[in-house]
Structure 1
Amino acid sequence: MKKKLSIRFYCLVICLMYGRKVTGSELDLTYTTEVQTNFRKEGKWVNLLRLDYSCPLGRNFRFSFSSISIAETRQDALVDDMQGFSNIEERNLPFAPAVLGLEYRTSRSSLFLGVRNVNEDYFTSPCSSFFTNSSCGIYPTLSANYPLANYPKSALGLDYKLNYKDWTMEVSVYNGTGHQALAGKSNVFRFSPDADGVLGLSSVNYRKNDSEYSMGAGIHRGMCVGDETGVEEAGTSPQQKRMTCVLWACVEQRVCKRGYALLQCSVRPSVEGGCRSYAGAGGVVKCDKVSFGFFLDYADYTTAHEWAGEVTCRWACTSRVTVQPAIHLIRNSNGNYAAGLLRMYYVW
């Protein structure tokens, strides 16, 4: 039944594609595919299909919808890493909404109400999104501790942005647990503070001369603390249900005409399980068609730790096709590992 619904949905997408210029709507389809290897005669093929559609509804309102579909050739991981060297790798998922809601825009602010995930607004900057390591997209002090609305899951929430010159302030409130189903108890439209808790995020960003500085905080109340792989633990003891917070900061500094330095850090002050702190540093050299980058991070867990390094480059073959190889070196309490991937993006 799900396959039939997915086929009908993407047939509708193709029809909308032809009419987007006439109606003033926007529609993009992005296909990401990558081949992974652990350099030990083992490999995996991972695919991600994302649809983004939006259309105006009157003067200041806009409807937005995004969906994701994931397919991979094997479910188990190639290496025993804690952070995840690929930020698109997830279990097979025929269809799930990433964004679905209504947005009200003015010249300086926007207010969104509906289904959304934290990856749409937080933690990603032009340099951090260049890398394939999962921690560059969201810090493990959040993703490894709570079942929040993190890719590929979403949650019902409210997001507000205020722009003033070079400053941007953002405040969001989500259902504390993310979901990916359209119906049933675990559906993305669910809002249950008693059972799922509440997640609040806030950040302040400053952009100037191609440099970006941001800092933020997350508050969790009534959420079950997860283990070090992000899996929710059983039980709802008072200790698990209390309020906890996460702090983070990110600096993306332009150091020369084409070079950028990236610094990240995050800490969870009161923690009995999961990831306590995270720090990362790297650099990116952006050229016309080929860009290069390296990144090194450290994640401290209550019972383990992990160093992870990445070297990657990105080549814009055409206006629609981009190729990106990457090599990852990982050292944690379980051993030393190496992984490689070859990724391709196709934007339609």
Structure 2
Amino acid sequence: MITFYSHCLAAQETGIAYTSEFQTDFRKGTKWVNLLRAEFEFPIGKNFGMEMASISIAETHERPLIDDWQGFSNIEEENTPLALAVLGIRWQLKKSFLFVGVRNLNEDYFTSPYTSLFTNSSCGIFPTLSVNYPIANYPLASIGIDYKYKGNRWSFEASAYNGVGYKRLTGRENVFRFCPESDGILGISTINYQNNGSSYYMGFALRNGMSACYEKGTEESKEKKEWNALVWGYAEQNLSAHWHALIQYSVNPTVLKGCRSYAGGALVLHCGKLESGVFAGYAGFAEGNEWSGELTCRIACLHNMYIQPAFHVIKNSRVHGCIGLLRLGYEIRKP
């Protein structure tokens, strides 16, 4: 639910976005999750500006309602009073943008108009990347450098980050830490093409360091000092004035554990203030496969607000169940 806004650095801008989500497993389990994001930008020169964004997460309990592997809610995380998502300097010259500082990958990658409709986490950063490595994925961030070129139809982006993301402001696990020797390093890039209402994305990532599957335990792996690579691609195809198709695919052949492949597809209907869609996805893990489906719609109301119910069906080797969501979002943006 995090969106990147690109604009000229000529004026100060602030924004606050609040997302509230009620979850149920249709039996006895319920949960309430809240996300608050604050943004602030101001110019510090002709082509330079400072960006800052923070996130806060509050939920009634941290136990998930279902033991899924991908994450049916893209805002659900452990309680976090305050964490940095962005803090740094941006340089802009014509169609080029360069950012140096603390950044979250969700600001730039795997963000597009119709993937953002769905609430499943895999419609954000694909699990072949987010599950396998402790990268700067929401709500974590890390020190990095990000470059973008935005043409009329073609765009290109390349970034390098500390290989492990953090959310603390002090101590060893702080977001300002940059230590490739122990944390590894992540390189990621993508090339995109937009034309006639359709968008196409292709990218790859390289990470040096131990995978998340081993870092959470004590087992040593030959992956520790090797480069791991993955590739992905997805397309949002315009079918008619109101209908769009979404196709996603990613493969990570270098990991021994975790998620090795992912594929997803969706149909999206856009009609005025109503967006609705149906999504089906597959993720191949070393311990088994997970299938997921989502039916959702988003209704815009009161200028800055939206209401979004969603229904999820999830099946893996551990569980087979359904989850219902009711999401409310409200945003205030002031130039």
TM-score interval for Structure 1 and Structure 2 normalised by the shorter chain:
over 0.9
CA contact (8 A) 2:211 2:255 kept: no
Report the counterpart of residue 171 of structure 1 in structure 2.
Answer: 158
How far apart, CA to CA, are the structure 2 residues paired with 1:263 and 1:44? 31
Could you say if the C-alpha distance between residues 297 and 231 of structure 1 is closer, same or farther in structure 2, counting changes exceeding 3 Å? farther
- SS of structure 2 residue aligned to 1:142: helix
How far apart, CA to CA, are the structure 1 residues paired with 2:37 and 2:161? 22
Residue 182 of structure 2 corresponds to residue 182 of structure 1: no
Residue 36 of structure 2 corresponds to residue 52 of structure 1: no
Structure 1: which amino acid aligns with 2:273?
A: K
**Pairwise mapping of residues 1-348 of structure 1 onto structure 2 (< 5 A)?**
24-221=11-208, 223-227=209-213, 232-235=216-219, 237-348=221-332
Please list every run of 5 or more consecutive structure 2 residues that lacks an aligned counterpart in the other structure. Answer: 1-9
How far apart, CA to CA, are the structure 1 residues paired with 2:151 and 2:57? 38
How far apart, CA to CA, are the structure 1 residues paired with 2:197 and 2:131? 31
Show structure 1 runs of 4+ deviating over 6 A: none
CA contact (8 A) 2:210 2:223 kept: no
How far apart, CA to CA, are the structure 1 residues paired with 2:242 and 2:152? 24
**Alpha-carbon deviation of 1:28?**
0.6
- Over the matched positions of the two proteins, sequence identity in percent amounts to 49
**Alpha-carbon deviation of 1:240?**
2.3
Relative to its length, the structure with more helix (as a share) is: 1
**Alpha-carbon deviation of 1:239?**
2.8
CA contact (8 A) 2:144 2:161 kept: yes
Calculate the TM-score normalised by the size of structure 1: 0.91
How far apart, CA to CA, are the structure 1 residues paired with 2:255 and 2:300? 43
Structure 2: which amino acid aligns with 1:232?
A: K
CA contact (8 A) 1:321 1:347 kept: yes
**Alpha-carbon deviation of 1:148?**
0.3
CA contact (8 A) 1:146 1:232 kept: no
How far apart, CA to CA, are the structure 1 residues paired with 2:70 and 2:219? 25
- SS of structure 2 residue aligned to 1:240: coil
CA contact (8 A) 2:154 2:194 kept: yes
- How many residues end up aligned between the 2 structures? 323
Structure 2: which amino acid aligns with 1:25?
A: Q
How far apart, CA to CA, are the structure 2 residues paired with 1:203 and 1:106? 20
- SS of structure 1 residue aligned to 2:223: helix
- SS of structure 2 residue aligned to 1:149: coil
Query: Which of 1 and 2 has higher RCO (CA within 8 Å, sep 6+)?
Result: 2
How far apart, CA to CA, are the structure 2 residues paired with 1:212 and 1:271? 29
Could you say if the C-alpha distance between residues 334 and 237 of structure 1 is closer, same or farther in structure 2, counting changes exceeding 3 Å? closer
Q: Which moved more, 1:159-168 or 1:67-76?
A: 159-168
Report the counterpart of residue 4 of structure 1 in structure 2.
Answer: none
- SS of structure 2 residue aligned to 1:186: coil
Q: CA RMSD in A?
A: 1.3
Calculate the TM-score normalised by the size of structure 2: 0.94
